[in-house]
């Protein structure tokens, strides 16, 4: 259909290019999965380039919001494929899922007991709740990547952490993850430096993947002792000449901060050199630095990176050792799974295999998980390891 527009030729050309762009997206709606299409839209529309050019705090926030959005689409597609719903991985399916979730949130059934309120820390100021959950407490998330390049920024993030924790009247749950899907890839995450400032006597630690809990444990075991000053890119040790004397209880004092004249903006999507943690060179460097390869191996197993094989890693893995990729597992990995096995799934946690059926790429397993109930998994996409 043609429309007569009273515009000049240059404007008409731009409008025609925009129409062609939208038409190309529409043509892929029922052909390309939601995650791939979403990335294409962000890239080809110029949205990501526009956001990358904005180096302000607001720009960083917008990038984080887009990253969280695209990550949710990625998780949706992976979940659909893993449960054998290959025909429900498109953008329309994702929007329908989001719509259903929104409807549930707005359901006016009068039940205010069995629900949670989601809000930012800023929005929670002045409010109090019996129980508070603080999520994503990892370096580059809380504190944010941008604040970690500025002493004043770190102190502001620390105040926000204090605000978040003091919203709880009785219980405060703080969570962090070993790996997170960010900027189109899986990244290892370190527990937030703020966690190391909490005295261990106030903390009860629990490792969800292994079901272990203990009173008075330190964050991250022996790597994150709460009574040890944080050493690193922004270390608070007395050897730091910039602000080493402004210390109190291993923490920097706000009024001693020296503002950075021009904070460096570090973008999370910068390229990094690939490292093979299972290479002999890496093991030698790790041993020379006093590191523990077993801890690295466990982190890799649970963190979403590909393991070479069961024989070299010392554990039985499926779908490339909880890989975040959708590559097919080896036939040996599929064949090794049988009824009665106990597995640890990347998203669903620990469960018992009730049944295995099919063959090759169509092999499916019915698993009863401790936290989410019974799930049927398409093994060529499933990400788990066999515990017993």
- The pair phi, psi for residue 311, each rounded to 5°, is -70, -35
Name every residue whose Cβ is closer than 8 Å to that of residue 54 and which is 6 or more positions away in sequence: 62, 63
Cα–Cα distance for residue pair 188/310, rounded to 1 Å: 22
- Cβ atoms 241, 254 nearer than 8 A: no
- Topology agreement, domain 7-104 and domain 115-266: no
Token digits for 50?
A: 């526009």
The angle subtended at Cα 39 by Cα 84 and Cα 274, nearest 5°, is 90
Place of tokens 């100021």: 125
Cα–Cα distance for residue pair 160/134, rounded to 1 Å: 11
Cis amide prior to 143 (ω within 30 degrees): yes
Token digits for 310?
A: 């069961």
The predicted-structure confidence for 63-109, as pLDDT tens digits, reads as follows: 888 888 898 899 889 888 888 888 888 998 898 888 776 665 555 55
CATH, range 115-266: 3.30.160.800
Token digits for 299?
A: 């982190």
Indicate the fold that domain 7-104 takes in CATH. PCRA; domain 4 (1.10.486)
> What DSSP string runs through 287-328?
HHTT--HHHHHHHHHHHT-----HHHHSS-EEHHHH-SS-PP
- Residuewise pLDDT in 10s, the chain (388 residues): 456 778 888 888 898 899 999 999 999 999 999 999 999 999 999 998 888 888 887 888 888 888 888 988 998 898 888 888 888 889 988 988 887 766 655 555 555 567 788 888 888 888 888 999 999 999 988 988 888 888 888 898 999 999 999 999 999 999 998 888 776 677 888 889 998 888 888 888 776 554 455 544 444 444 444 343 333 333 333 333 333 333 334 444 443 333 444 444 444 444 444 555 556 666 666 666 555 555 555 544 444 434 333 333 333 334 334 434 434 444 555 677 888 888 888 778 888 999 888 887 778 888 998 888 888 888 878 878 888 7
- Cβ burial of 132 (10 Å; 0-12, 13-18, 19+) is buried
Q: Can you give the residue ranges of every domain in the chain?
A: 7-104, 115-266, 280-386
- Cβ atoms 278, 313 nearer than 8 A: yes
Three-state DSSP class for 148?
helix
Name every residue whose Cβ is closer than 8 Å to that of residue 128 and which is 6 or more positions away in sequence: 167, 168, 169
Predicted TM-score (pTM) above 0.75: no
Three-state DSSP class for 376?
strand
Three-state DSSP class for 113?
coil
Which helix (DSSP H) or strand (DSSP E) does residue 310 occupy?
helix 310-313
CA dihedral (312, 313, 318, 320) positive or negative: negative
- Cβ atoms 364, 376 nearer than 8 A: yes
């Amino acid at each position: 259909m043609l429309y007569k527009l009273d515009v000049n030729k240059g404007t008409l050309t731009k409008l025609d290019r925009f129409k062609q762009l939208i038409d190309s997206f529409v043509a892929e709606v029922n052909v390309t999965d939601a995650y791939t299409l979403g990335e294409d839209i962000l890239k080809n529309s110029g949205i990501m380039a526009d956001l990358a050019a904005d180096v302000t705090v607001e720009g960083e926030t917008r990038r984080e919001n887009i990253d969280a959005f695209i990550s949710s689409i990625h998780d949706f597609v992976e979940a659909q494929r893993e449960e054998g719903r290959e025909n429900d991985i498109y953008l329309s399916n994702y929007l329908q899922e989001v719509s259903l979730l929104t409807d549930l949130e707005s359901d006016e059934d009068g039940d205010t007991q069995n629900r949670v309120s989601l809000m930012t820390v800023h929005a929670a100021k002045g409010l109090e709740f019996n129980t508070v959950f603080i999520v994503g407490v990892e370096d580059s998330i809380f504190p944010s990547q941008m604040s970690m390049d500025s002493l004043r920024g770190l102190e502001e993030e620390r105040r926000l952490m204090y605000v978040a924790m003091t919203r709880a009247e009785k219980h405060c749950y703080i969570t962090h993850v070993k790996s997170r899907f960010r900027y189109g890839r899986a990244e290892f995450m370190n527990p937030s430096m703020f966690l190391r400032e909490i005295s261990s006597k106030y903390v009860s630690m629990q490792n969800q993947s292994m079901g272990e809990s203990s009173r008075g444990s330190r964050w991250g075991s022996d790597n994150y002792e709460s009574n040890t000053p944080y050493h690193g890119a922004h270390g608070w040790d007395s050897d730091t000449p910039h602000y080493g004397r402004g210390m109190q209880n291993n923490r920097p004092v706000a009024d001693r901060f020296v503002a950075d004249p021009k904070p460096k903006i570090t973008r999370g999507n910068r390229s990094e050199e690939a490292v093979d943690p299972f290479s002999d060179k890496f093991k030698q460097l790790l041993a020379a630095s006093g590191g523990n390869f077993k801890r690295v191996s466990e982190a890799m197993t649970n963190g979403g990176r590909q393991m070479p094989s069961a024989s070299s890693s010392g554990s039985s893995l499926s779908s490339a050792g909880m890989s975040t990729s959708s590559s097919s597992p080896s036939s040996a990995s599929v064949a090794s799974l049988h009824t009665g096995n106990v597995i640890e799934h990347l998203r669903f946690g620990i469960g018992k295999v009730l049944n295995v059926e099919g063959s090759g790429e169509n092999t499916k397993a019915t698993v009863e998980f401790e936290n989410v109930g019974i799930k049927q998994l398409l093994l060529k996409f499933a990400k788990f390891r066999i515990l017993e």
